Amino acid sequence: MERLVKSESFYMQQSMRWFGPQDPVSLSFIRQAGCSGIVTALHHIPNGEVWTTQEIVKRQKEIADFGMIWNVVESVPVHEAIKTQSGNYIQYIENYKQTIRNLANCGVKIITYNFMPVLDWTRTDLAYVTTDGSKALRFEKAAFIAFDAFVLKRKGAETTYSETELDEAKQRLDSMSAAEVTLLQKNIIAGLPGSEEGFTLDEFQKALDTYKGIDEERLRSNLISFLKEIIPVADECGVKMAIHPDDPPYSILGLPRVVSKESDLQAILDAVPSTNNGLCFCTGSLGVREDNDLPNMVSKFADRIHFVHLRSTRRNEQGDFYEDNHLEGDVNMFGVVRELVKASQSRKINIPMRPDHGHQMLDDLEKITNPGYSAIGRLRGLAELRGLEFGIMNSLKEI
């Protein structure tokens, strides 16, 4: 019986996110963690502008110097004007197409993006102390509503929530010190790593106002018309587009969200049937919903999954969740990885994966780290996931 041990023999291509030269985690460290792929973006280029070949090649070279490749772009951000179909959105779509062509010419052929209005991923607490003393990211519903209804005082917030929810949120707010309220606001609107945008309270309300009159149906149709423009370009250049799900996977702040559940993903894939119109399967985001059966979704969408984020969340009855260890929490990681191995086997490809987020732990507790993206927590996540895949691969061979 041949034993699979070499890292090239894994089905999933082990990768980590790197935020560029400013990232406190170096490329050398990522290499030492066992990765061959780097997931990155040209964060210094403002949203909406074309990524030039020169800048792309420069980044590729930085990565190649450490013996790895830039396998996935995360993300080429979709300008807000495209999501709302306003202002210069036609020009921004043209720019997006050019960025796809430029990346393809350089050989970078998987692109992640999202279509979440205004905010990318959202948490209320970036240093939630877990029972073992490591720190995790958390979304606490009452704190979020407290921000929305009583700090931001969003018009219409009263109708978004029930009276009980508002009462609980008010109590939660009253329990916080002024510094805690400021921190909560910062956590929600100042921009988490990779979000590309941060806001003051005023700017934030203005950004929300641009979605007036845009409901789910309209947002979905704006997404589909964007896809109808860009996927033919992706087809020409052999680029796989991978949409990231909403995080958390439901409407927040009265904004529509259309990439949260199985039927949303199905609608997106059906609307533009090319395989290049695909998914970034993020188990942490999708796993917050109990009605998302993740292993089943992997098997159903197997041909259209171009990139994978592996992470587990644990929810409670109040609707809060925190990021648990990668093999714990509510996500059936064994089932997900088993389906991914089967999908890679049948497609005869290596699907890039990254351990998504990780706890701030050990020496990293003393360091300034990007929330969710410290070195040691992700190293632990990757090591566990690699072991899980290794076990599944060998047992599938033997059975």
User: What are the φ and ψ backbone dihedral angles of 120, each rounded to 5 degrees?
Assistant: -80, -140
- Catalytic site residue 373? yes
Instruction: Measure the N-to-C terminal CA separation of the chain; round to a whole number of Å.
Output: 11
Site string for ligand DNO, 230-269 (x = CB under 6 A): --------------x-------------------------
User: What are the φ and ψ backbone dihedral angles of 326, each rounded to 5 degrees?
Assistant: -60, -30
d(CA 182, CA 68): 40
H or E, element range at 180: helix 178-189
- Catalytic site residue 357? yes
Which of residues 172 and 322 has its CB atom nearest to ligand DNO in the complex?
Answer: 322
CA distances from 140 to 62, 70, 329 (A): 39, 35, 16
d(CA 249, CA 269): 18
Which of residues 77 and 295 has its CB atom nearest to ligand DNO in the complex?
Answer: 77
| Shortest Å distance, C-beta 356 to ligand DNO | 6
Candidate list 306, 326, 357, 359, residue with the active-site label: 357
3-state secondary structure of 208: helix
Which of residues 194 and 381 has its CB atom nearest to ligand DNO in the complex?
Answer: 194
| Shortest Å distance, C-beta 137 to ligand DNO | 9
3-state secondary structure of 397: helix
Size of residue set near ligand DNO by CB under 6 A: 11
By CB under 6 A, tell whether 113 contacts ligand DNO. Answer: yes
CA distances from 249 to 89, 240, 262, 265, 321 (A): 26, 23, 11, 12, 12
CA 368 to chain centre: 22
Nearest Cα residue to 303 out of 264, 241, 346, 350: 346
- Catalytic site residue 43? no
Mark the segment that binds ligand DNO (CB under 6 A) among 43-51, 87-95, 110-118, 138-146. Answer: 110-118
3-state secondary structure of 4: coil
Contact assessment for residue 217 and residue 232, using Cβ atoms and an 8 Å cutoff: no
Mark the segment that binds ligand DNO (CB under 6 A) among 114-122, 170-178, 197-205, 332-340. Answer: 114-122
| Shortest Å distance, C-beta 161 to ligand DNO | 25
Mark the segment that binds ligand DNO (CB under 6 A) among 4-12, 30-38, 107-115, 207-215. Answer: 107-115
Candidate list 35, 113, 244, 320, residue with the active-site label: 244
Candidate list 79, 306, 309, 326, residue with the active-site label: 309
| Shortest Å distance, C-beta 243 to ligand DNO | 8
Instruction: Report the residue from 112, 122, 260, 369 that binds ligand DNO according to the rule CB under 6 A.
Output: 112
Reading the block at residue 384, the tokens are 């566990």
By CB under 6 A, tell whether 372 contacts ligand DNO. Answer: yes
- Catalytic site residue 322? no
Candidate list 247, 264, 356, 364, residue with the active-site label: 356
d(CA 388, CA 397): 14
By CB under 6 A, tell whether 283 contacts ligand DNO. Answer: no
Instruction: Report the residue from 15, 114, 222, 276 that binds ligand DNO according to the rule CB under 6 A.
Output: 114
Candidate list 282, 322, 326, 359, residue with the active-site label: 282
Which of residues 256 and 372 has its CB atom nearest to ligand DNO in the complex?
Answer: 372
| Shortest Å distance, C-beta 28 to ligand DNO | 22
Contact assessment for residue 373 and residue 195, using Cβ atoms and an 8 Å cutoff: no
- Catalytic site residue 96? no
By CB under 6 A, tell whether 96 contacts ligand DNO. Answer: no
By CB under 6 A, tell whether 74 contacts ligand DNO. Answer: yes
By CB under 6 A, tell whether 194 contacts ligand DNO. Answer: yes
d(CA 354, CA 15): 5
Reading the block at residue 354, the tokens are 């990254």
Query: Of 129-188, which residues contact ligand DNO (CB under 6 A)?
Result: none
H or E, element range at 102: helix 89-105
- Catalytic site residue 309? yes
d(CA 148, CA 204): 11
Residues known to be catalytic: 244, 282, 309, 356-357, 373
Contacting residues toward ligand DNO, per CB under 6 A = 74-75, 112-114, 120-121, 194, 244, 309, 372
